[in-house]
Structure 1
Amino acid sequence: MADIRSTADDEPRAAAATARDKAVPAAVLLMLAGAFQALQGVAAIADDDVFSARPGYAYDLDVTAWGWGHLIIGAILVVAGLFLFSGSAIAGGVAMALAGMSAIANFAFLPNYPFWTLLIIALDIVVIWFIASSGILES
């Protein structure tokens, strides 16, 4: 017997599956960026001398305070990455917003440890690009 379903019924499901498949690299990179950021936070909390603060910097806060901020943001990024595996549009929007917040927080931390900070900012930008180009926000 022939299948009476039209191919138009399969198109939305196929598009959603493709968006979920494209969100997987974004989720992995978001979790990786979150883990890196959490490690950065732990290092700052454990020993203030790990990071060399520049005198007279506009965002001159205690390195331990920055460490707690990075640890919290990193943990939230890892959780957001886990939710992004679901392929939900809400998870994609939240993940993009959190990746943007992570990039801004790391930009403010730039003078303290430039290479590591630029690596995390680059990962955040790639995550935002992956999510935006995946089509997950349209599902």
Structure 2
Amino acid sequence: MASAPDPHTGKCTAAAGLTVFAAVMMLIAGFLNLFRGIMAVLHNAVYLKTPDYAFKFSLGGWGWIHLFLGIAAIMIGVGLFRVSLWARILGVAVAAMLLLANFLSIPYYPLWSIVLMALCILVIWGLCTVRHEDG
């Protein structure tokens, strides 16, 4: 005779699944920002010239910002696989900073910025929909 499925087990599985999804998306966003930072620090020619942009930094300055945020995102993405509360909180914070950095650098590399903004929104969604008692 088959036993009835436990609804609580389904909640834990869904919570763990969303956290793993957010971890994978955080790792992808982290690596993409890391590569973007390296390209900017090396002054790659793929970036657009924006002479009258209000948030103008040097290309190297934007590169270092994306490089450091990418490294932080990779480290937190690895920590998210342990489904810990501190990693979820830091994950939301770093994803929000990545979202802001990519928004501010849209004029330099528009398509890449918009794709990374979408990934950051997915990370924030995945980490915020898991309730504390579910994880």
Query: Which bracket does the TM-score occupy, shorter chain normalised?
Result: 0.7 to 0.9
User: What residue in structure 2 maps to residue 28 of structure 1?
Assistant: 24
Q: Counterparts of 1:49 and 1:137 in 2: how far apart (Å)? A: 49
SS of 1:57's partner is coil
Deviation at 1:15, TM superposition (A): 5.3
Which of 56, 59, 72 is matched with 1:76 structurally?
72
Moved over 4 A (4+): 10-18, 136-139
Which of 105, 113, 117 is matched with 1:117 structurally?
113
Once the two structures are superposed, residues 72-115 of structure 1 have per-residue CA deviations (whole angstroms, 9 ceiling, x without a partner) of 10010000000111111111011001000000011111100000
Q: Counterparts of 1:49 and 1:59 in 2: how far apart (Å)? A: 20
Do the aligned partners of 1:20 and 1:136 also contact (CA within 8 Å) in 2? no
Correspondence 1:57 to 2:43: no
TM-score by length of 2: 0.86
Partner amino acid, structure 2, of 1:42 = I
User: Which one has a larger percent helix, Structure 1 or Structure 2?
Assistant: 1
Q: Which sections of structure 1, spanning at least 5 residues, go unmatched?
A: 1-9
Q: Counterparts of 2:38 and 2:99 in 1: how far apart (Å)? A: 18
Aligned residues: 130
User: What residue in structure 2 maps to residue 131 of structure 1?
Assistant: 127
Q: Counterparts of 1:136 and 1:77 in 2: how far apart (Å)? A: 22
Please identify the structure whose Cα radius of gyration is greater. 1
Q: Counterparts of 1:128 and 1:106 in 2: how far apart (Å)? A: 15
Q: Counterparts of 2:67 and 2:48 in 1: how far apart (Å)? A: 18
Once the two structures are superposed, residues 38-93 of structure 1 have per-residue CA deviations (whole angstroms, 9 ceiling, x without a partner) of 11111111125331131110011100111011011001000000011111111101
Do the aligned partners of 2:11 and 2:134 also contact (CA within 8 Å) in 1? no
Moved more, 13-22 or 95-104: 13-22
TM-score by length of 1: 0.83
RMSD, matched Cα: 2.1
Partner amino acid, structure 1, of 2:123 = V
Q: Which sections of structure 2, spanning at least 5 residues, go unmatched?
A: 1-5
